[in-house]
Structure formats: C-alpha cells, structure tokens
Copies of this chain bind each other. A is one copy, B any other.
C-alpha cells in the first residue's frame, strides 16, 4: 500500500526543481529499470511495481520493492500507459572534469526535444564520448522522457549545463567544430582526438555568436533534397566519421 506522501513525492519528481533538490530521478518500465539496476554508477532509492513484475525478480530485489496496484501505478506514472514498474534512482556521481584536452566532447545549443537529447547522449556513449555540455536552454537530462531515450547511457555520459558563451570563452584553447550547413565537407576530415563538437537547435541551428567562436565548420554533404537532418542523426553521422 502506498501512502499519500509517497504519491506526492514521486509526482513531484516530474519537476526539475524537485529532482535537483532531492538529487534523484525517475525511470519507468522493465527495460530501462533493468538497464539502470545493472549499472554500477546508478544507485536505486526505491522501486514501485506490480506484483507480476516483482515475482519475476531475484529475491533481494523483490523484497525491497514496494508492491502497488495497477490503479496506484497509474497515479505515480508519467506515461499514458503505465508499464509495470517505476524506479526512483540517485543521480549518477561523476568525477570532476579537470581538463577538456585529449578528448572529444559534445556541446549542445538549445536542444529542446527530450527524445533528441536522450538519443544524442546514447549516441555519445556509443562513440565513447564522456561529456556533453548543454546550454541552459537544453532539456533536462533527468526528465523522464530523456531518461527513457538514453537507455541507460545516462549513467556513463556526464551532462553539464553551462552558459555557452562563457564556457567557450574559457576554453578557447580547445579546437571547436560547429555542425552547420555551409562548412568543410565531413568526408574530407581526419579523426578528431581533441575538441568540442557543437550541435545546434532543431530548427534554428547553432546561434551565430557561437558559430563565430568556433575554429572549424563541418557539413554533412547532401546528396538528395531534405532541408536538414535531425539533430541526433547529424550528431551520430559526424561522430561516426571523426570519433573513430
């Protein structure tokens, strides 16, 4: 049985402010929950689940989960169709970044779609990139939809939020590469061992002032007619060419 304060607590975690204050986030559904449970860097605070899900779990985990009814799960869930289990997890703890030298990092200007942000984080993880620096206008990486689309990569990729003009000024000794529609053809580029890859907003691209701060501009050559590429797809394509 759930008590009212638990319902309130979990519902409050749909808000960034509450997640920040508590240092936790929520995830829903067996797939992402299993992924997070098997990740060393993510600590479980509490699971709320239907009895059918609990019965399939190892004993220690099953013993610690709070059983809820389908109706209770619905009250806790952010999803249109609640999916068996909701977990509250502590945000991962990353070691402090002392230098951006000798590694490739991603810088995001105003990626507002949660699915895009999550997909970019997952993509960064695939290509071994450990840090994403987002502008303050980016979606919160611990919002439920982003957590869902990172598929566990949230535990391995650190996402920091910065004022990008200040950040780029502070790190102007690091080579920077802006993904734009009019730059050097991607296929002419050599692998990049050190630098920032800048990806822009879904419809507006990277702000002019930020492009001006970048040493290089990269373009994915277009063969057909699409006006642009999705931001996460563009990130994946560029990484596959420069991060190998």
Q: Give A residues with C-beta under 8 Å from B.
A: 31, 35, 115, 119, 122-129, 149, 151-153, 156, 186-187, 203, 220-230, 232-237, 240-241, 243-244
Contact B125 A224 (CB under 8 A): yes
* Oligomeric state, in copies: 2
List the B residue with the shortest CB-CB distance to A113.
Answer: B115
Least CB distance, A174 to chain B, in whole angstroms: 20
Least CB distance, A165 to chain B, in whole angstroms: 27
List the B residue with the shortest CB-CB distance to A241.
Answer: B240
Contact B123 A223 (CB under 8 A): no
Additional 20 contacts, C-beta under 8 A, given A119-B230, A119-B232:
A31-B203, A119-B233, A123-B229, A123-B230, A124-B224, A126-B220, A126-B224, A126-B229, A129-B224, A152-B227, A153-B225, A220-B240, A223-B243, A230-B236, A232-B232, A233-B233, A233-B235, A236-B236, A236-B237, A240-B240
Contacts of A234 in B (CB 8 A): 236
Least CB distance, A71 to chain B, in whole angstroms: 25
List the B residue with the shortest CB-CB distance to A244.
Answer: B187
Contacts of A126 in B (CB 8 A): 220, 222-226, 229
Least CB distance, A87 to chain B, in whole angstroms: 18
Task: Say which residue of B127, B153, B227 sits within 8 Å of A223 (CB atoms).
Answer: B127
Contacts of A203 in B (CB 8 A): 31
Contact B156 A227 (CB under 8 A): no
A–B complex contacts, Cβ < 8 Å, 23 sampled = A35-B227, A115-B115, A119-B233, A125-B225, A126-B223, A126-B226, A127-B222, A127-B223, A127-B224, A128-B224, A129-B224, A151-B226, A151-B227, A151-B228, A152-B227, A156-B224, A156-B225, A186-B240, A220-B240, A221-B244, A223-B244, A237-B237, A237-B240
Contacts of A240 in B (CB 8 A): 186, 220, 237, 240-241
Docked complex Cα distance between A125 and B124 (Å): 24
Per CB-CB distance, the 4 closest pairs between chain A and chain B, nearest first, are: A128-B224, A128-B223, A233-B236, A125-B226
Docked complex Cα distance between A122 and B152 (Å): 27
Contacts of A227 in B (CB 8 A): 35, 151-152
Knowing A128-B224, A156-B224 are in contact, say whether A236-B243 is a contact too (CB < 8 A): no
Interface hub of A122, A151, A228, A240 (most chain B Cβ within 10 A): A240
